[in-house]
Structure 1
């Protein structure tokens, strides 16, 4: 059994558990709106649990990359649609900021009357100037790191293309891909962790739900497309 196949199995289980955790977040948020039975500590605990789940994912992926970097880079666990959107075997870290700004704008517009009357909603539509400043600073730092890793991958690809035909050297170069994959995944995880840290527990819950729903939506659409493509091939 290949390491790529092992990770694919792990991902399926991990993804199912992520759905369960996000359902917990949504249920807790709903309960808080209805009767405020959930405390800040409850929300903080759930956020910590979800972040630990993401950390586990990247830890196992790191081990899989060490065993078979080419398999992990090709991301066999992902759908064709997901792979078309990938940046080094995963989502672009800067996607985090597009999500924050989009969710904040949507919620701000829906609560604008309350906000103009001085009522604080405490959600992502109610980010403080200080929070916006920190998000902007983090975005700039993330863009720089993302670009640096992209340049490193480009250099790696150029070096490998020059070694076609020399099997031993090519094998050694392929092993260098492990470092690039790990750097990309480390940036992905650190970006989410830093964003969550600068949000309130309520805002962090809303952010994690939005991020997961985006992930669920893209994967669901991708699975449907792959299924239709497979059916069309079988029909022909």
Structure 2
């Protein structure tokens, strides 16, 4: 199977996983719900890991194809950093979602109510130095562009490590919301990219 065909199947499976994540009870009100949260978060992370595993194999066979990413739209490719998403994007997404939810809950928060979502990120969670660690690793990668396969593998490991660090940092409910938000961003960019490419083809 070509990587392009794998990606199309993988992308459809991601949509199904996100649908499952979107349907879980939130907040968790029982041990069963909490266990379900953890299982689905792990399922999503494992699915992402599988993408990078297969991508690594494809890169060893045809590194230039992986960098050019013909399975992506022109919009997606314009946003790429070393053949994928920029790791700091995940932190921007967390902070944005947290701010939106915090503002929407501000009255309840002042009353002492908590929802356990990304709007309830604690100072301790926000103070974790994951972002600094990721930025440091990015600088290390950008100085070694001569070995494309090695660079790609390091970049993808960094992307995976970013997700793992964030999921570890967040509660299961917050991790679900992060995974849903990041997938919706990915879906939206792809949808816009497909529409844009179609318009270019007809003009």
TM-score after normalising by structure 1: 0.83
* 1:126 corresponds to which of 102, 115, 120: 120
Shift in Å, 1:91: 0.3
Shift in Å, 1:32: 3.9
* 1:56 corresponds to which of 50, 55, 66: 50
Q: How many residue pairs get matched? A: 202
Give the aligned CA root-mean-square deviation in angstroms: 1.4
1:20 paired to 2:20: no
Residue of structure 2 equivalent to 1:165: none
* 1:179 corresponds to which of 150, 175, 190: 150
Name whichever of 216-225 and 140-149 sits farther off. Answer: 140-149
Q: How far apart in 1 are the matches of 2:196 and 2:140? A: 33
* SS of residue in 1 equivalent to 2:85: coil
* SS of residue in 2 equivalent to 1:87: coil
Q: Is there any run of 5+ residues in structure 1 with no aligned partner, and where?
A: 157-175
1:194 paired to 2:190: no
1:88 paired to 2:82: yes
Stretches of 4+ moved more than 3 A in 1?
A: 35-38
8 Å Cα contact 2:100/2:119 also seen in 1:
yes
* SS of residue in 2 equivalent to 1:39: helix
Shift in Å, 1:27: 1.1
Q: How far apart in 1 are the matches of 2:26 and 2:165? A: 25
Q: How far apart in 2 are the matches of 1:225 and 1:62? A: 29
More helix by share: 1
Q: Following superposition of structure 1 onto structure 2, how do residues 139-150 of structure 1 map, counting pairs within 5 Å?
A: 139-150=131-142
Residue of structure 2 equivalent to 1:173: none
* 1:76 corresponds to which of 56, 70, 85: 70
Q: Which has the larger radius of gyration?
A: 1
Residue of structure 1 equivalent to 2:175: 204
Shift in Å, 1:121: 1.6
Q: How far apart in 2 are the matches of 1:36 and 1:217? A: 31
Deviations 1:132-167 (A, max 9, x none): 111xx11011111112212222xx2xxxxxxxxxxx
Q: How far apart in 2 are the matches of 1:152 and 1:227? A: 36
Q: How far apart in 2 are the matches of 1:113 and 1:147? A: 41
Q: How far apart in 2 are the matches of 1:127 and 1:32? A: 16
Q: How far apart in 2 are the matches of 1:77 and 1:144? A: 30
